[in-house]
Homo-oligomer: A and B are copies of this chain.
């Protein structure tokens, strides 16, 4: 029997925020090697938790063991990637405009500018990646790499996991002889402490991954501060997939296997889950029939929390009741209230265009097939789409040039365009973009994954010397 979970009040997180502000100059002025050491030590300490961590994540999240092991590898690799970034110390992007004492009518001073860390960052992780997008995930790693202390909320869906991670962090920070407040974790079952944190004057930026409702509530508080702060929220996305007729006809069985795999991966609990599948009517029959066959074989999956499973059921029931939306296939019936049944819905383009609710995220293993008349209708659909994390185009060799106009449109609406692949699975690297226009994210300019994620937490500062 483990000790009761910590519980932090709004007053407690104010203390954490003030401690983070005290630790900020120490971390920001620490050497690149020191910050790299910290990030690697956190990765090492997470690995040192061994099966205790894996068991805990599996118990709390119901995610399969292999997936959790993979996610641990992704998390530690991410921490080490940011360690390399810290060590390389290239992110400051210094620029100098030289002085010119002879310029008329007045001498030109020397100006030097660099990017600098913005200050303490509040991090609100996601339930669906208890390691990679939670306390020690990409938001925290990107902030620490450039010298921003982190105050992270332990996710109520996996608090024991967060407690283990918090212990690993504390040991890593101590081993690096840094102030404990460079990376602090707080716990609450409700929202008061988190709301207090984003409003605390010592917090200079925040990052959130989760629902649109939760993200926008905190975002609003950040904007309504006396001094508004950057608040990057990664929220909801339905990740449309467009399939050319030639592609749908070429290998309907193989494509259906891949699509249903992506749609039901992790019980559909991915922000990049493909929720909308666009096919032309003439090319649809074989592909849709293959999709139906596979969805019917999907076993019930246990969701991250009972509340999320109940919410999924509500959304599925609501979708069943939408006018002119058909149930194309249902997976095996769930026997446990925390389980989800895979669902495949279908409708035509005019139904889709006339009902904004069909764009809402159904977080879980459910997708909607939209049959259109021609590939030109893809553009009509995109014109009506909200911002997304991803869009996918499945096409045959040589076909891409015929979709230049669609691809331009998609570029305006999404952060990542996938060709002949599946949107689930976000690679972590220097080129990664995990972002997109609202409501996918609160700010279309940034990514929360990959090394570009640091841009969210950097300011530019200049120093001027006389000529």
With A223-B223, A411-B116 in contact, is A421–B466 under 8 Å at CB?
yes
A side interface size, CB within 8 A: 61
B97 near A425 with CB under 8 A, answer: no
Q: Mark A84-111, 1 if CB is under 8 A from B, else 0.
A: 0000000000011100000001101101
Cβ distance A55 to chain B, nearest Cβ, rounded Å: 21
Q: Mark A158-175, 1 if CB is under 8 A from B, else 0.
A: 000000000000000000
Tell which of A5-13, A343-351, A456-464 binds the partner.
A456-464
> A447 contacts the other chain (Cβ, under 8 Å)?
yes
With A227-B438, A432-B111, A439-B227 in contact, is A416–B95 under 8 Å at CB?
no
B432 near A446 with CB under 8 A, answer: no
Residues of B within 8 Å of A240, CB to CB, are none
B466 near A95 with CB under 8 A, answer: no
> A244 contacts the other chain (Cβ, under 8 Å)?
no
B421 near A464 with CB under 8 A, answer: yes
| 8 Å CB contact of A228 from B227, B386, B442, B460 | B442
Residues of B within 8 Å of A447, CB to CB, are 460
B466 near A420 with CB under 8 A, answer: yes
In the assembled complex, the Cα of A113 lies from the Cα of B418 at a distance in Å of 12
In the assembled complex, the Cα of A465 lies from the Cα of B386 at a distance in Å of 24
B106 near A444 with CB under 8 A, answer: no
B417 near A462 with CB under 8 A, answer: yes
With A96-B431, A227-B438, A427-B109 in contact, is A415–B70 under 8 Å at CB?
no
Residues of B within 8 Å of A387, CB to CB, are 227
| 8 Å CB contact of A417 from B416, B418, B461 | B461
In the assembled complex, the Cα of A95 lies from the Cα of B429 at a distance in Å of 10
With A97-B427, A416-B462 in contact, is A437–B109 under 8 Å at CB?
no
> A443 contacts the other chain (Cβ, under 8 Å)?
yes
Interface residues of A (CB under 8 A from B): 25, 29, 70, 95-97, 105-106, 108-109, 111-113, 116, 118-119, 204, 223, 227-228, 230, 386-387, 408, 411-412, 414-421, 425, 427, 429-433, 435, 437-439, 442-447, 452, 458-466
Selected A-B contacts with CB under 8 Å, 23 pairs: A95-B430, A95-B452, A97-B429, A97-B430, A97-B431, A109-B421, A111-B427, A113-B452, A118-B444, A118-B445, A227-B386, A227-B387, A230-B444, A415-B460, A415-B462, A417-B463, A419-B466, A420-B466, A421-B464, A433-B461, A435-B460, A446-B460, A447-B460
